[in-house]
Chains A and B, each alone.
Chain A
Amino acid sequence: MADAAHHRGGFGAWLLDPKRRGALLVTPAIAILFVMNIFPLMWSFGLSFFNYKASSLKVPKFKGLDNYHDVLTDEKVWERFQTTAIIVSASVVLQLIIGFLLALMFAKAFPMRRIVLMLVLTPMMLSFVSVGVFFKLFYEPTFGIVSFVINLFTEERFVLLGSPEGAIAGIVIADAWMWSPFVMLLVLAGLVSVPKYLYEAAEIDRASAWRRFWTITFPYIKSLLLLAVLFRTIETFKLFDIVYIITEGGPGSTTETIAVYLYRTAFQFFKTSQSSALAYIVLFIVIVLTNLYLYAVNRRAEEID
């Protein structure tokens, strides 16, 4: 400390100048992000222009845009994007519906609400690995509880994961179950932000419940819903563990999402550079989605103001 006093007017004072306070406060965060995120990102961006293979010791050759060309013209990649799109849209729609209904239920105050709410929040706290393993067990034709319940009504042996449609449904149900509570939290926050006097006024006007919902409640939760859609879309787009554990991408490759394909390209076939190129195409899509997300956030902020 004596040293700092000694340097008064020197580097210490320069650093602590109020003009630099903003930059100074931001530095630790940016430094960690740079080392752990931005630098590796630039590295893999560089890799995407070579033919580097993590499994081989050969000096990589520069290939320019070849990897991007290969990835974009690969029919398999487009199929994976399609699968991902189907899973993402089905799961997000389901999460919205369930999350919304749960939020409506919990918008009221009632005794023991805190405890009942915990029942619904718990799925979010499980690991993807355990959700994957146990949902696979639930779907299992012989021991699974889902199959057991269905067999109470039909004699036919129930093999959910045997068909492409069933396998997709299996993944979507597991993912939607896990993340609907998140949507519920967002919608709940929107619901409780509706000023009470609006409902009181509506009651005086004898507006129907349907009308009350569309004219009072909906405008308040509209952009939070959009926020939920975008956030969950971006997250589900990265869906990997659940798919990998429940179906391993099968039957065939019908449930292989882009994240699973990316993992396979990188760690099973060791096409490191090609996977980096594909990853950057994915990143581009995610950035577009992020922009939409920010647009939704800003609109929400404006509406509230």
Chain B
Amino acid sequence: MARRNREIGKAGWGYTAITSVVGFIYFFPVFWIILTAFKTRTDALATPPKLFFTPTLDNFTSVFYRASITTGTSQATDMGLYFFNSIFIAGTSVGLALIVGTLAAYAFSRYPLRGNDTYLFIILTTRMMPPIVVIIPIFLMFRLSGLAGSYWGIILLYTAFNIPFSVWLVKSFFDELNPEIEDAARMDGATEGRVFFRFCIPQILAGLSATFVFGLILTWNEFLFALLLTGVETRTVPVAMARTLGGEVGVDYGLLAAIVTLFLIPIFFVTFLLQNQLLRGVTFGTVKK
């Protein structure tokens, strides 16, 4: 029922105006960060803080090109590579976790093992644990196995972080489906593969998208493990962001804000496109039909 009339009542443009004001107040810190990205160094640290100023694109330019002090020529930074790394690493690991997690979730839902709940609980515990518990062994493990600094190392690690979440969420979607329809399909001679791909997956697509967005939001900004386990070639944007903080002249807020703004764009659009699915999938499947 909930899916057919999802909202309580309807309101008009007046209501839109009120919510926009509240929404904008909530959004204000983000707005300020975006403004800072267009400010010169002096404007960024002006007293009192400046709301109106002459905008500049210098910060965005210096995200990708930095003037060398010694030679005066501009040098390309590796920020483009870091953006690629972030997108590639987060996208691959969340996708991989979704595939592996969906298979496991299907098994947990349709072919319960002995000790099913125990397995599920152990899986969930690994998600709930403070990351610092495993950081030293993982660091040593990555160094010994040569995974440190490689794409596969960090991708596998992030995949592992996303699996518990994917399994739990997707299992709840499978649980909601009516198994009788699947049995009927089997009677008609459909193979197991066909039942899975043609009957189950299409029905939970919205849920799968929600799981993907959630995983992406949580992985996109991961910092601690990326800091310790990525190398020069595989560095992600949050790590690069933190590296702009050090420096003798203090934080370059304009530059940082420009990176934050650019880094916000991809995740913002993915979330915007999949917003309806996100709202539906967020309940961990506990809101039924």
Q: Which residues of A contact B (CB under 8 A)?
A: 18, 21-26, 28-30, 32-33, 35-41, 43-44, 47, 54, 102, 105-114, 116-130, 133-135, 137-138, 142-145, 148, 177, 185-186, 188-196, 199, 223-224, 227, 234, 237-238, 240-241, 259, 262-263, 266, 272, 275-276, 279-280, 282-283, 286-287, 289-290, 293-294, 297, 300-301, 304-305
Contact = CB atoms under 8 A, between A and B. Distances in A.
B30 A133 contact: no
25 contacts: A23-B113, A25-B104, A28-B103, A33-B123, A37-B160, A38-B126, A41-B129, A102-B22, A110-B13, A112-B16, A118-B268, A120-B27, A122-B30, A129-B242, A134-B29, A192-B8, A193-B2, A193-B283, A238-B130, A240-B132, A280-B133, A282-B133, A289-B128, A290-B121, A294-B124
B130 A120 contact: no
A224 B134 contact: no
B132 A40 contact: no
Between B26, B111, B124, B130, the greatest number of chain A beta carbons within 10 A of the residue's beta carbon is seen for B130
Contact of A122 (B108, B119, B264, B283): B264
A126 B113 contact: no
Contact of A238 (B124, B131, B223): B131
Nearest to A199: B8
Between A106, A112, A119, A120, the greatest number of chain B beta carbons within 10 A of the residue's beta carbon is seen for A119
B287 to A, nearest CB: 4
B160 A186 contact: no
A241 B133 contact: no
A125 to B, nearest CB: 5
Given A108-B9, A143-B47, 4 more contacts: A29-B103, A33-B164, A123-B29, A304-B288
Nearest to B228: A267
Q: From DSSP, what is the main secondary structure of chain A's interface residues?
A: helix
Contacts of A105: 19, 22
A305 B123 CA distance: 25
B131 A125 contact: no
Contacts of A300: 286
Nearest to B281: A189
Contacts of A21: 107, 111, 192
Contacts of B23: 116-117, 119-120
A26 B228 CA distance: 30
A177 B242 contact: no
B106 A125 contact: no
B29 A28 contact: no
Interface in B1-15: 1-2, 5-13, 15
A218 to B, nearest CB: 14
Interface string B268-289: 1001100110111011101110
Nearest to A136: B251
B207 interface: no
List 8 tightest A-B contacts by C-beta distance, closest first.
A22-B111, A36-B160, A127-B221, A25-B107, A40-B137, A119-B23, A109-B7, A29-B104
Q: From DSSP, what is the main secondary structure of chain B's interface residues?
A: helix
A107 B8 contact: yes
A190 B287 contact: yes
Between B22, B24, B113, B134, the greatest number of chain A beta carbons within 10 A of the residue's beta carbon is seen for B134
Nearest to A142: B47
Contact of A125 (B36, B138, B141, B217): B217
A262 B103 contact: no
Contacts of A121: 271, 275
Given A118-B272, A125-B271, A110 B11 contact: yes
A185 B287 CA distance: 13
B46 interface: yes
A26 B125 contact: no
Given A111-B13, A148-B48, A26 B108 contact: yes
B47 A36 contact: no
A24 to B, nearest CB: 8
Contact of A290 (B124, B238, B287): B124
Contacts of B159: 32, 36
A211 B48 CA distance: 48
Contact of A109 (B9, B134, B245, B264): B9
A296 B139 CA distance: 35
Contact of B238 (A37, A127, A283): A127
B253 interface: yes
Contacts of B26: 102, 119-120, 123, 177
Contact of A224 (B46, B123, B272, B286): B286
A37 B126 contact: yes
Given A123-B26, A304-B286, A234 B264 contact: no
Nearest to A125: B267
Contacts of B1: 195-196
Contacts of A286: 125, 128-130
B177 to A, nearest CB: 15
Contacts of B242: 129
A35 B30 CA distance: 38
B113 A26 contact: yes
Given A25-B103, A33-B126, A36-B160, A276 B136 contact: yes
Given A23-B113, A33-B163, A127-B260, A259 B217 contact: no
